[in-house]
Amino acid sequence: MAEARYRFAPGGPKAVVLGLSAAQLVILGAGSAAALGAVMAHTVALGLVAGGLAVAIALVPLAGRPAYTWAGPGTAHLLVARRRPAPLTRHHPRRATKSAPSPLRLPDGRRVRFEAADGAGLARIGRHHSFHYSFTLEISGPALSLAEPEAHEATLGAWGEVLAGAARRGLRRLVLIEQLGPQSPNSVAAWANALAGRADPAALSAYRAHLSAVVGSSRVHRLYLSGSAASAPDAAAQAQWLAQALTQAGFPNRRLVASELAEVTRRILAPGSEHPAPQPSWHSAWDRIGADGATHVVFEAAELPRIPVPGPWLAPMVNEATLGTARVVALQLELTPPEEAIRRAEREALSGDNEAELRARLGFRFGARQALSAQASAEREAELAGGQPEMNFSLLVGLAVEHPSELDVAAAGLVAAGARAGLRLRRCYGRQPQALSGLVPVVVSNGGGRP
């Protein structure tokens, strides 16, 4: 039977007029006004410089992206640089108090305190006096690579129903974390001890010897789903509902307790350490960040596949065994309430119709990209009218190596593996601390805007 394939909608900034985004229109408008003012003041040369500079900033690509998009990463990096006393920012562990454990400080400066609540764990995240709470579920599901096309569609449909229900319940942020790293040498002993007394001793001994021989080259794969709420009771209630919804949809899960959540978070930040410190130390640079025996680099998905892809389309990037010590794939989801999503879809469809009419009136060609975008807008409006969820998302991919000298080779291999999956990866230049904080299994940001 033919393998099920899926198509992503066209990505990138939303065009407002003639393929230009709102930011590009603002920059070009400001440059035109400055150039006109200079000409009226009889300084034609200055007007030409102002106009040319606006065109360059808005339209000319720099390292694969428009020049104006570097303003955010550059500003963030300069603000960090102003606070650092050395070429690299260094954060050192603080002495824990006896009354309560010290909160974990993430690379972006947020503090995370892990608390026990309702028999499970919560993470309290925030800065200064602004906090929210996050819960985390460890989940598993059917092996899509072995499923028939009907099973693919049923599984993805069930996942869509969970997301739609989460949006209706008021959940606004979800983070799906896929973690791949080396198997701990102690895992074999823990597994054997758990089965002691329940399995045949001879068979258990043979399995233990075999696993001990291959544990050095084996890797562990885990999947986590995190959500957030403004208060601890709301977070506990949302976690209980989400766990039940996932179970009914065919995704077995369990909620992490506070100690497990803290351990997973610290191991992602410091994967090279057998016993991560309560507060990892790190040093950040323009294109990488190091933490306790490991050096990280985080990429963002700048472009999704343009052709139809199978269900396990990320397998070349996730399952490649030679790409660094550990890898983390984080899908940040921002759910939109159904009523607001339908209004947005209608406005986008109307904007597409207006642009098509404007292009026809001015003699501009309505190309294949515009046609695909209009088709995607129409399909999106129909799906939302049928009850499907609407969300913004961003995909982060983190790579960690033990020795800094291995980073460039491993990073190039990760980019190549992403290309084989149809994904274009781009380093989070100037925002490595913020990007690394987005790889931990807690919802770091609970506000609005793009995740």
Q: What is the mean pLDDT of residues 187-200?
A: 69
Whole-structure pTM value:
0.74
Report residue 297's pLDDT band, with 50, 70 and 90 as the boundaries.
very high
Q: Where along the chain do its domains lie?
A: 93-183+218-437
Say if CB 185 and CB 215 are below 8 A apart: yes
Say if CB 167 and CB 337 are below 8 A apart: yes
If you average pLDDT over each of 88-97, 195-204, 258-267, which comes out highest?
258-267
Give buried/exposed letters for 104-138 (b at 16+ CB in 10 A, else e).
bbbbbebebbbeebeebbbbbbbeeeebbbbbbbb
- Whether 98 has a pLDDT exceeding 50, the answer reads no
For 334, list phi and psi in degrees, rounded to 5: -115, 105
Q: What is the mean pLDDT of residues 253-271?
A: 87
Cα–Cα distance between 383 and 185 in angstroms, integer?
48
Cα–Cα distance between 155 and 144 in angstroms, integer?
8
pLDDT tens profile 384-408 = 776 666 777 888 999 888 888 888 8
The pLDDT, as a whole number, for residue 303 is: 83
Say if CB 116 and CB 258 are below 8 A apart: yes
The pLDDT, as a whole number, for residue 92 is: 42
The pLDDT, as a whole number, for residue 91 is: 42
Cα–Cα distance between 350 and 356 in angstroms, integer?
10
Give buried/exposed letters for 398-407 (b at 16+ CB in 10 A, else e).
bbbbbeeeeb
Cα–Cα distance between 282 and 296 in angstroms, integer?
10
The pLDDT, as a whole number, for residue 387 is: 67
Strand partners, 333: 174, 393
Which amino acid, one-letter code, is at 153? E
- Whether 222 has a pLDDT exceeding 50, the answer reads yes
Q: Are strands 120-127 and 130-139 parallel, antiparallel or unpaired?
A: antiparallel
The pLDDT, as a whole number, for residue 87 is: 36
- Which residue pairs, CB below 8 angstroms and at least 24 apart, start in 414-418? 414/299, 414/317, 414/320, 414/323, 414/324, 414/327, 415/299, 417/316, 417/317, 417/320, 417/323, 418/299, 418/301, 418/317
- DSSP labels, 82-128: HH-SSSSEEE-PPPPPSSSPPPEEPTTS-EEEEEEETTEEEEEEEET
Report residue 451's pLDDT band, with 50, 70 and 90 as the boundaries.
very low
Cα–Cα distance between 117 and 294 in angstroms, integer?
32
Please tell me the number of Cα atoms within 13 Å of 223 on its side-chain side. 10
- CA 253, 255, 257, 261: dihedral to nearest 10 degrees? 80
Report residue 118's pLDDT band, with 50, 70 and 90 as the boundaries.
confident
